[in-house]
Structure 1
Amino acid sequence: MTTATHPRPTVSPIWPVPIYQADFPEAAAYNVALAELILLQQAAQEQPVILPGGLDARKSSEDILTWEHPAVTWLRGHIMGAVTAMATDMLGDAAQHITARPIAEGWAVTYAEGASLLPHTHHSTSIAGVYYIDPGTTDSGQDPGFLQLLDPRPGAVARDSSSGVIRIQPVAGRMVAFPGWLNHQVRATASKERLRICVAFNVSFTAPGGMA
């Protein structure tokens, strides 16, 4: 007589959301040059471009990552490093077969005092992200200017079913990347002394079977 065996109960983390975060210690000199380039470009704009969904958040042209400058080349390299890490986490061994397209778009955003960005997604891209050049002044007690990553599960509004909002502090030289479909927002900055300056980016890739 054979005794049937049953698998032990398990709890598995299904559909985890990969979040990339890195701080680059060599960033200071590059950040000075990037801030200078961005502010010059915005000053040359005939009309200020307000970021859609943003409150007093000013946007540069979307070709910043094509500019010919050593600081931009440095930034592009780190963005592709983030994309490689994210693709490997999301696709495993299949990541080596990915065909990466050139960075679709990258743009600078400057936030003055009180500027913020409403919840939104970058639904048409594979990976979205931000690189902080100058966080402005911050008060960690109020989360000013923090990037907030929102729980993507529709039912997570129920009590105790969500781990809550993930808050990431803007720090000079910090890069954050996440799936383009992840809902996120930016808290209002409290900076009164200088602008908060960052570069946002979208990267798309295709994988075997047409995954994008």
Structure 2
Amino acid sequence: MQTAIPTIENISTWTTPIFVANNPDHEFLKNELLNFISQAQKQQQSTIDSQIAVDAKHRLFESELTFLEHAHPEVMELRRIFEELVAEVAYDVNRDAWPQDVEVEANVTESWYHITQSGGYHDVHSHPNCSWCGIYYLEPGNASLDGKNGINRFYDPRVNAAHFTDAGTAYLGNQGYWDFAPIEGQMIIFPSYLKHSALPYFGDQDRIVIAFNCVVDIF
């Protein structure tokens, strides 16, 4: 009598999607955005104008959380790009959960710039009150994956994934984090619950990013 071979079904659950995209209009927008941010920095009332998690930030300037609300042509265009990108991302991950033929609308609810000077960093955090977040590398400066200089690090949300490791857990990865190489003109979109940080940055040129939070509606 032959022994029956059981059927095994692989069900992948609780994945965390992260999306990366390049801004095709980066070179067209970059200088105007840098000039606008430079002027805004000179008008800041404090180094951290948002007044949020001040102690988690060192040697960096942060705007108020309304940066993409400015009626400036390049800023408005950047907001449009971000919202269209998040709408695409939301549709991609939710298509099986949404009704067919829905219209998707993503809206930036908070946005800000970071100007990180040499020696600056942003400690571990996540973003509440939104579903998707983004980071745009306007000017990475001297940040690089080699040496972990000024990179963004994303942390494994499976809090107990590393409580035991052997050959059978190799698929989990063994470091508990994922490092993202900062590339000029690149955007990274990630779910708001995902904890992340900006590791210490050292360089002769400031590291400048624009970050944002989004909510999504369907019609």
| TM-score, normalization by structure 1 | 0.86
> SS at 1:157's partner residue?
coil
Unaligned runs of at least 5 residues, structure 1: none
User: CA–CA distance in 1 between the matches of 2:6 and 2:102?
Assistant: 35
Structure 1 residue 98 displacement after superposition: 6.0
1:78 aligns with 2:81: yes
Quote the residue 1:64 is aligned against: 67
Shift of 1:99: 6.0
Query: d(CA) in 2 for partners of 1:131 and 1:139?
Result: 15
Q: Which residue of the partner structure matches residue 170 of structure 1? A: 182
- Partner residue in 1 for 2:93: 90
Aligned length: 203
Shift of the alpha carbon at 1:6? 8.5
Aligned to 2:191: 179
| CA shift for structure 1 position 132 | 0.9
- Structure 2 runs not aligned, ≥5 long: none
Any residues of structure 2 matched to 1:4-15 within 5 Å, and which? 8-15=7-14
Structure 1: how far apart are the matches of 2:25 and 2:218?
33
1:46 equivalent in structure 2? 45
After superposition, the CA RMSD in angstroms is 2.2
* Partner AA of 1:48 in structure 2: T
1:197 correspondence with 2:208: yes
Amino acid in structure 2 at the alignment position of 1:61: E
**Pair 1:121–1:76, CA change in 2 (3 A):** same
Q: Is the 8 A contact 2:150 2:198 kept in 1?
A: yes
Match of 1:22?
21
Q: Which moved more, 1:90-99 or 1:122-131?
A: 90-99
Amino acid in the other structure paired with 1:124: N
- 1:132 paired with 2:137, answer yes
Structure 1 position 69, deviation (Å) = 2.0
Deviations 1:65-94 (CA, angstroms, capped at 9, x unpaired): 111222112211221122112211221152
Matched position secondary structure for 2:160? helix
- Are residues 1:147 and 2:152 paired? yes
Task: Please identify runs of 4+ aligned residues in structure 1 that moved more than 4 A.
Answer: none
Q: Deviations over 1:122-149 (max 9, x none)?
A: 1221101111110011343212111111
Q: Percent identity?
A: 25
